[in-house]
Amino acid sequence: MESHNPDGETGDKCDINGDCSPISNKDTVSFNHTKNIDDISTPSELKFDEDFEFEDPDVTEKRNELERCLKNPDLINLEQWQNFAKSKAGLISDEYRRQIWPLLVGVTEDEMTDPPSLDDLSKHSEYHQVVMDVNRSLKRFPPGIPYEQRVALQDQLTVLILRVIMKYPHLKYYQGYHDVAITLLLVCGERASFPLLCRLSYGPGAPLAPFMQATLQPTQHLLNYVFPVIRRADDRLADCLDKAGVGTMFALPWYLTWFGHSLNRYADVVRLYDYFLCAPPLFPVYVTAALVLHRAPDVLQCDCDMAMMHCLLSRLPDDLPFEDILVTAKKLYEENDPTDLEAEVNALEKREEEQRKLDQERMKRRQAGRVAPRGGGWLGALPAALRRPAGRRAALALTAALFAIYVYYRPELFRNREDSPDL
Amino acid sequence: MSDPSEPVPGLKQRKVFKIIVLGDSGVGKTCLTFRFCEGQFLDKSEATIGVDFRERTIRISNEDIKLQLWDTAGQERFRKSMVQHYYRNVHAVVIVYDVTKPETFHSIASWMQEVESHGLLGSPRVLVGNKCDCGTPESRLATSYAQRLADKYGMPLFETSALLDSECDNVESIFMTLAHKLYSKQPLRVVSVEGERGPRLVTLPRQKRSNTSTDSCLCS
Ligand SMILES: Nc1nc2c(ncn2[C@@H]2O[C@H](COP(=O)(O)OP(=O)(O)O)[C@@H](O)[C@H]2O)c(=O)[nH]1
Ligand SMILES: [Mg+2]
């Protein structure tokens, strides 16, 4: 039961893409548009100016093959499309993607329906949050996109998101969902991206479904798989991450948005989506592990400090070799099936739970300690310096005397504040 | 991240003050922290997913201090589970609301609860009304009204705008106030920071104008 509302505007909303691609430096392929189910918003013509110096011969060959296959798509089975999507360079160009992505998740043409108008949706309780996030998604649009076209696309994005969460009311919108939605929208257009996003959000094994539950608990649990995967590949690196207590937050936007939020290069984002659309739902976590492993030298050099580590990891460099990272991720997945990791993840979560309890107790004591003499909050500064291992000795030498005096007066407070593992 | 002032091993380690920035989604937390750390308005701000991190080194009494700002996601679902981890060892708190959106002001009570639940009521805190460049004086939340709540919670109030370059000093003073407060609370140390008494009189090292009044808006 799709709500149809072919509002007269959609036509001209989308015919405005002529100007936004000043230089199309991808080969212009004579392309059979009869299968084009989504002429409304020909999004593939949006161009993210990519430097396109020379094409790898393998990729050129693949391109030719893809074109051959797309002339007779009915003769190609799912596995063949998947092979294209996973192997080197993925689906290469958005012109192919917009046809193949729906096939990868099994969306059919009759599921692609006209969206309702924005007005019909504005009463939804998440409307304001969605609009707020959509309005802040400027970075995700092709540079130089004309204002009207961008605004039109942003409206389509809002509609797309609200349509899905209205169709499945138990699914909760999360900040980051809009980053997935916009990627689909830019590639496939508004009609095709709706059933695509539905497929990703709802149903057994739907990769985004765990993110849309009432809390982020399920997401956090799945993200925790990254640690045993890393540990099995590089013990020293795992120790380093452990010691810094960096947690998984650095990778949260990666997982929630399939890296769409965190990568600057559009080409990298769509390449990863090619793969994720036909990979197991947990695969992005293995890509996360592969990425951290790839950056191991930086991580090992980094201050063993939660903030520094979080900062280092959460900012992704622009020149990541994603083809290699995907190969590594695939290997990691084959060698460490999620079911084999369950026990390790459970143990890790148990440890975290215990730590949380300790933190809570520590905090209670801290509160109790505060009541006695007023103004006890200052202590923060001192242990912060001491916690930094690089400066530990120096700081200790400098402050040992002061510290001794302090501890003499307020031993309980110090213990509450310091992050000592033996508490 | 090639900070030239990175501590040289063996030399004196810089102090680190960790400040967490809270408030409803869209009030301008990301823009405010960006303004303070980068000195400009972030014109392509994006939704914060989870926790973001920014830092800046400041100087108090000839000592370099690293301010770590933890910029959190406003959406409730992020707070419940994952953000918890990042409250650990927080030294100070900034709560932000949007002066043009009363509902974001009314959320302050629940943010305070959260602060309390993490045992941070004793830490320096400030309340910030952002976007005072927006709307008309009538459409903005009255300062007196906000001041009353700020007094109730015993925290200084700042009204400012992350957008206006003219408010730059004011944004500066928000974080400098906290930094001075944290600095002055260090034990057994002679602190003589000019204007340290009272949050509204902080003397700023980088201040460009001398007559910055922190509780009035220079805009509109
Ligand atoms: N007019 C105005 N807009 C602002 C100001 N600060 C932030 N914004 C805008 O408000 C929106 C939300 O800001 P953001 O910093 O992302 O909010 P956050 O969710 O609290 O981090 C963005 O579109 C900003 O451009 C301000 O001082 N004045
Ligand atoms: Mg933000």
Full DSSP string of B112-142: HHHHHHTT-TTS-EEEEEE-TTSS-TTTSPP
Distance CA B109, CA B124 (A): 17
Q: Which of B15, B45, B51 sits opposite A385 (nearest CB)?
A: B15
Residue B84: both structure tokens together = 């918890």
Q: Which of A241, A253, A289 is nearest to B51 (CA)?
A: A253
A residues 205..234 contacting B (CB < 8 A): 214-217, 220
Alpha helices by DSSP H, B120-203: 143-152, 168-184
Question: Looking at CA atoms only, how far is residue A253 from chain B in angstroms?
Answer: 6
Ligand 2 mean position, distance from CA B52 (Å) = 8
> pLDDT of A249-270, one tens digit each?
999 999 999 999 999 999 999 9
Q: Give the CATH fold of the B15-213 domain.
A: Rossmann fold (3.40.50)
Q: Is A144 exposed, middle or buried (0-12, 13-18, 19+ CB in 10 A)?
A: middle
Q: Is A144 on the interface with B (CB under 8 A)?
A: no
Q: Is any atom of ligand 1 closer than 6 Å to the C-beta of B29?
A: yes
Amino acid at A73: P
Average pLDDT over residues A93-115: 91
SS3 A406: helix
Residues A333, A335, A339: CA angle, nearest 5 degrees = 70
Lowest mean pLDDT among A90-99, A135-144, B29-38: A135-144
Please state the separation of Cα B189 from the chain's center in Å: 25
Show the tokens assigned to B211.
Answer: 């007559």
The answer to whether B101 and B70 have CB atoms below 8 angstroms apart is no
Identify the closest residue of chain A to B121 by CA–CA distance.
A367
Chain CA centroid to CA A175, Å: 11
CB contact under 8 A, A390 and B13: yes
Predicted confidence (pLDDT) per residue in A263-304, tens digit: 999 999 999 999 999 999 999 999 999 999 999 999 999 988
pTM greater than 0.90 (yes/no): no
Closest CA to A267 of A207, A188, A187: A187
The answer to whether A175 contacts B187, with C-beta atoms less than 8 Å apart, is: no
What is the C-alpha to C-alpha distance for residues A384 and A364, in angstroms, rounded to an integer?
20
Domains defined for chain A, CATH in brackets: 54-208 (1.10.8.1310), 216-342 (1.10.472.80)
Residues counted in chain A: 423
Which chain B residues in 14-33 lie under 8 Å from chain A, judged by CB atoms?
14-18, 25-26
CB contact under 8 A, A406 and B12: no
Report residue B53 CA to chain centroid gap: 13
Indicate the domain borders of chain B. Answer: 15-213
pLDDT by residue (tens digit) across A36-88? Answer: 333 334 454 566 655 556 788 889 999 999 999 999 988 999 999 999 999 99
For residue B57, the chain A residues in CB contact (below 8 A) are: none
For residue A252, give the chain B residue with the closest CA. Answer: B50
Tell me, what's the pLDDT at A357? 87
| B124 within ligand 1 shell (Cβ under 6 A) | no
A256 touches chain B (CB under 8 A): yes
Looking at all shown ligands, the one closest to residue B32's CA atom is: 1
Q: Which amino acid is at A56?
A: D
State how far the Cα of A178 lies from the Cα of A196, in Å rounded to an integer: 14
Q: CA B140, CA B97: separation in Å to the nearest integer?
A: 12
Q: How far is the CA of B96 from the centre of ligand 2 (A)?
A: 11
- To test the pocket of ligand 1, the residue of B34, B45, B160 to mutate (highest count of ligand atoms within 8 Å of its CB) is B45
Q: How far apart are CA B98 and CA A176, in angstroms?
A: 22
Integer CA distances (angstroms), A27 to A22, A36, A136, A239, B61, in order: 14, 19, 32, 47, 61
